[in-house]
Amino acid sequence: MASLLQFVHILSTALVIFTFSAASNPRPQPYVVYMGSSSNYNKLDSDAAKLSHLQLLSSIIPREERDRLSIQHSYQHSFSGFSAMLTEDEASILSAHSKVVSVFPDPVLKLHTTRSWDFLEQQSKIRLNYHLDQISSDIIVGVIDTGIWPELPSFSDRGVGKIPSRWKGECMEGPNFKKSNCNRKIIGARFYDDFDLSTKPLGNKPNKRQGSPRDAVGHGTHTASIVAGAAVANASYYGLARGKAKGGVPSARIAAYKACSTDGCSGSTILKAIEDALSDGVDIISISIGQSSVFQPDFLSDPIAIGAFHAAEKGVMVICSAGNEGPEPYTVVNSAPWLFTVAASTVDRDLQSIVILGNKRSYQGTAINFSPLNSSKAYPLAFGENVAARFVSPSDARNCAPGSLDRIKVAGKIVICLNDNPTISRMIKKLVVEDAKAKGLILIDEEKRSSLLDSGIFPFTEVGKLSGSPILNYLNSTKNPTATILPTFEVPNFKPAPIIADFSSRGPGSLTEDILKPDIVAPGVAILAAMIPKSNIGDLLPGMKPSSFGIRSGTSMACPHVTGAMAFVKSIHPNWSYSMIKSALMTTATTSNNLGKPITNTSNYNGNPHEMGVGEISPLGALHPGLVFETTTKDYLRFLCYYGYKEKAIRSMSNRNFCCPRNSAKELISNVNYPSISIGELDRSQGAKRVKRIVTNVGPPNATFFSSLRAPPGLTVKVIPKKLSFTTSVKKLLLKVSFDSKYASKGYNYGAILLFDGSHTVHITFVVNVV
C-alpha cells in the first residue's frame, strides 16, 4: 500500500517533471558547484580561494562568453564551492571534475509559512523550580529567513548581558538599516545583494539588487521572536490572543541572515548564509524554508542538506520545517538525518467566527476577521454558482474564481463559496467576493482547516462540510435566506490540544524510509509573535494602528519552537552536544493531548509517527532524559555510504580519511544511531531483522533500565538485553532490537520501546513497513 501511494504521488507529478525537463534551456542558468570540505582551502585567504574557483570556471566557459565569467557566491570557510551561470553542458563537464562533488541547478526554496510556550510547559509532566523565560543564556541563534525588524519590543535588549566574546559576526548597513539597529539582543544582521538571474539577458552582466537586513515580509521577524523574543506583556493582535509574548529563551541572542524575499529563497544564497553563520560563531541555526516535495533533490544536491552537514561537523545543529504540503504522504522535506525536522500542531487556543442564519441557527467557523457585522442585522445569502457571471462554468462560480461572479447579483449579499479547487487560494476567493461589493464570505471546505485566513475587517469564516451541509440546506429550502458573520473571538483552554495540523507535511521520506521523518511536532498554528508594522493596511478599522504582533500558521512557526527548546536545554546542559539534546527532546516527547488521550489529526484519527514524528516537544522533560542516542559525524558518513554515494565523494565532504564499511547496503541505514527506528521494508518471508543502537547514560551513574514494549499485534519485537546496567565506568551500552513480521499486518506498523529506571522513561518510537 505504501509503495502504491508513493507511486501515485510520483505519477501525479510526472507530466510536470517531464515538462520541466523537456523545457530545459540551453542558455546559461544559475548553478551551485559543491566541492566538499574546505580543508584544501584553509591556507588560502578569501580572495585566493575565490581566484581558484574562477580559474576552474574559466576552464569551461568559451572565450567568446568571458563577459559572464563571474561568481555569485564563493564558499571557502566551512565548505568549498561556488555558484555561477552555466549551461547544461558546462555543468555536466564540471560535475566530472576530480575536485567537484556535485553540480546542481540553483533552486528556489519556499518559506514554510505567546501562548505556545506556556502550553508546552503545561503539557509537560515535569515540574521544576524555573520556567523557560527565567533562564540566563548566551546561546547565539542564527535565523536564516527574510530579515528582521529591530525596533519591535520583542527585540529589546533590556536586561540582556554583554555580547559573547566569541561572536565574530557583523551588523551590515543598508538604506534603511544602521549598525545602531543591532543591540545586545540582535547581535548580528546580514543581507545578500543577489544577482537577478531570472531576467539576465545572455552575455550581459546581471544587475545587482541593493537591500538591507530589514524584513519587508514579516516571516523572519516572526520566526526570530518565537525563538528568542524578549517577554512583552499585554501583547495581542488587535485584541486577539492577548497575553505575554515571549521566545523560548528570551535572553538568547539573535543573528539574522536575510536570504529570502517574497519571491522565495535562492539555494546558493541559503548555502552562503549557512557558511556565514558558521564563521560568525552561531550555536544553532533555524531555517523555516524548504524545497517542494515534488522536486525534492538528493542529499548532495540540496543546499540546506549540504550546509547543515558541515554545520553538524562543527557541532552546530540545524533545525528545519517539514513543509506545508500535508496531509498527503511522502511530502516531508528537509529529511537528512543530520537535520532536526519539525511538523506543526495546534495549541489550546482556538479562534472562531460564528455564522448566524436567518432561522436563528448558528454554526462555528474559523477565521481571523474583525467583522463590523453583528447579530442584530442579517443580509441576503447567495451561493456562488447562483450569482455567476455570464459564460462562466459552474465549477468556477461555486469556487469564486476571478471573473466568475456577477457583481450586480453579488453586491450587498453574503456569498457562499466552496473550496474544492486547490488552484484558487482562500485569499483570492476573499478578494474576488470583496471586490464584487459583497457583505461577507462563507467558505465551505471538505475538512476543517488548521491555518486561519486573516481577512482584516472583511467578514469571513470557514466551515467544514459538517456545518456546510446544513447551511446549504437552509439556503436551498428558504425563499429569502439571510445570514450574518460575527467577528473572531478567542476560545481559551481549548480541548483537545495539540492536534496535528492538516497542512503539516507527512512522511515517510521520499528519499529514504529508513530514517523516520518528520522527527517531532511543535506548535505551528495561530502563533502570536512579532510582526513588521504594515502601514499600508487598508483593512484596519478607523483609529487602529499597525500591530507589533501578528498571528501566523505553518511549519515555519513550529521550527523555531524546537530551536528555542534546544537553546533552553543547551543553557542548562552546556556540555551536551546538540545531537544529545536532539535525542533528549525526541525520547521525552509526549504522545498524549490535554485530555490525556493520544494526539489526533484534524480528521480525529490518532496521529502516527509519519505525521508527528516521535510526538510533541517537552522542553522541561528533555532536561532529564536519562539516556540519549548520540549521532556522530561518523554515523552521518556511514549513512551516505549506505545510501549509495561513492566513497570518493564522501571523503571529499569530510576532513578525515574515511572508508565506507565493506557492506554498505541501503537496508543498513536503519542501524544509524538515531533516537528513533524506522525500517523501510521488512519482508514477512525473510525472518527477523536486527538493528543496533549505542545508548549513553546522562543520569545517575549507577542506573539500571528495564525495557517494555508497545508493539502492534503480530509484530514480534525483542530487546537485547532486557536490562541495561550502567556504572561510573560504564556509560555507554549496546542495545539490539529485533523485528519479526511473520504474523504482522502488511503496511506500516507503529510502536515504541520504553526504557525505565524508576524515574526516567526513555521513549524510542519505531516504524516498520511490512511487505
Q: Residue 24: pLDDT band by 50, 70, 90 thresholds?
A: very low
Residues 314 and 375 in one domain: no
Question: Are 356 and 316 in the same domain?
Answer: no
Paired residues of 66 in beta bridges: none
Looking at the fold, whether 552 and 477 belong to one and the same domain comes out as: no
pLDDT for position 131: 55
Residue 248 neighbours by CB under 8 Å, 6+ apart:
117, 132, 226, 227, 228, 560, 561, 563, 564, 565, 567, 568, 619
Q: How many domains does the chain fold into?
A: 4
Q: What is the pLDDT of residues 532-591, one digit of tens each?
A: 987 444 456 667 788 999 999 999 999 999 999 999 999 999 999 999 999 999 999 999
Together in a domain, 236 and 279: yes
User: Which pLDDT belongs to residue 49?
Assistant: 79
Rounded-to-integer distance, Cα 607 and Cα 169, Å: 42
The pLDDT-based confidence of 120 (bands split at 50, 70, 90) is low
Is residue 187 domain-shared with residue 224, that is, in the same domain?
A: yes
Cα 276 to Cα 142: distance, rounded to the nearest angstrom: 10
Is residue 337 domain-shared with residue 485, that is, in the same domain? no
Task: Tell which wins on pLDDT, 605 or 44.
Answer: 605
Model pLDDT, residue 449: 79
Rounded to the nearest 5 percent, the helix, strand and coil shares of the chain are 25, 30, 45
When mean pLDDT is compared across 43-57, 123-137, 373-387, the lowest value belongs to: 123-137
What residue type is assigned to position 466 of the chain? L
Q: Do 295 and 383 sit in the same domain of this protein?
A: no
Query: What pLDDT does residue 150 have?
Result: 98
Has residue 601 been placed in a domain?
Answer: no
What is the mean predicted confidence (pLDDT) over 304-332? 96
Confidence class for position 692, pLDDT limits 50, 70, 90? very high
Give, for 36, the enclosing helix (H) or strand (E). Answer: strand 29-37
Last residue of a domain, which of 489, 515, 539?
Answer: 489
- The one catalytic residue among 154, 268, 286, 556: 556
Mean pLDDT on 413-420: 96
Q: What is the CATH number of the domain that holds 62?
A: 3.30.70.80
Contact 169, 157 (CB under 8 A): no
Residue 652 lies in a domain: no
Q: Which of 145, 283, 396, 502 is catalytic?
A: 145
The answer, yes or no, to whether residue 450 has pLDDT greater than 90, is: no
Name 85's bridge partners.
Answer: 30
Is the pLDDT assigned to residue 126 strictly greater than 80? no
In this structure, is residue 515 part of a structural domain?
yes
- Three-state secondary structure of 636-661: HHHHHHHHCCCHHHHHHHCCCCCCCC
Question: Domain boundary residue among 454, 489, 524?
Answer: 489
* 647 within domain boundaries: no
Question: Is 556 among the catalytic positions?
Answer: yes
Same domain, 277 and 139: yes
Please indicate, yes or no, if residue 639 is contained in any of the structural domains: no
Q: Is residue 199 in a domain?
A: no
pLDDT range class, residue 13, cuts 50, 70, 90? very low
For residue 700, give the CATH number of its domain: 2.60.40.2310
Please give the average per-residue pLDDT across 59-77, as a whole number.
86
Give strand pairing partners of 753: 709, 764
Per-residue pLDDT averaged across 239-245, rounded?
92
- pLDDT score of 687: 87
Burial of 152 (0-12, 13-18, 19+ CB in 10 A): buried
Q: Which domain holds residue 85?
A: 29-105
Tell me if the bond preceding 498 is cis, omega within 30° of 0. yes
> Is 5's pLDDT higher than 60?
no
- Residue 738: is it exposed, middle or buried by C-beta count within 10 angstroms (0-12/13-18/19+)? middle
Give the mean model confidence (pLDDT) for residues 313-334: 96
Backbone angles phi, psi at 10, to 5 degrees: -70, -40
187 vs 253: CA distance, rounded Å:
6
Examine the residue annotation and report whether 683 is marked as an active-site residue of this protein. Answer: no
* 414 and 364 within one domain: yes
* pLDDT (average), residues 670-682: 97
Q: Please check whether residues 269 and 184 belong to one and the same domain.
A: yes
Give me the mean pLDDT over the 362-376 stretch: 94
| Least confident window among 290-294, 346-350, 629-633, 637-641 | 290-294
Query: pLDDT band for position 202 (50/70/90)?
Result: very low
pLDDT for 539-555, tens place per residue? 566 677 889 999 999 99
In a domain, 204, yes or no: no
Q: Kindly state whether residues 95 and 150 are assigned to the same domain.
A: no
Average pLDDT, the chain: 89
Which pTM was predicted?
Answer: 0.90
Q: Which of 218, 268, 221 is nearest to 108 (CA)?
A: 268
At 142-195, the pLDDT tens digits run 999 999 999 999 999 998 999 999 999 999 999 899 999 999 999 999 999 763
pLDDT band at 11 (very low <50, low <70, confident <90, very high): very low
Which residue among the candidates 219, 310, 561, 763 is catalytic per the annotation? 219
Final residue in a domain of this structure, among 588, 612, 645? 588
Predicted confidence (pLDDT) at residue 426 exceeds the cutoff of 90:
yes
What residues contact 697, with CB distance under 8 A and at least 6 apart? 626, 627, 703, 726, 731, 732, 733
Concerning whether 222 is annotated as a catalytic residue, the answer is: no
pLDDT band at 29 (very low <50, low <70, confident <90, very high): very high
Same domain, 338 and 360: no
Q: Helices then strands (H, E): number in the chain?
A: 17, 40
CATH number, residue 510: 3.40.50.200
* CA distance linking residue 765 with residue 751, whole number of Å: 6
Q: Is 503 helix (H, G, I), strand (E, B) or coil?
A: coil
Give the largest CA-CA distance in the chain.
83
Does residue 77 fall inside a structural domain? yes
Cα–Cα distance, 192 to 210 (Å, whole number) = 8
In this structure, what C-alpha cell is assigned to residue 414? Answer: 453574503
Smallest Cα–Cα separation from 692: which of 671, 678, 676, 709?
Answer: 671
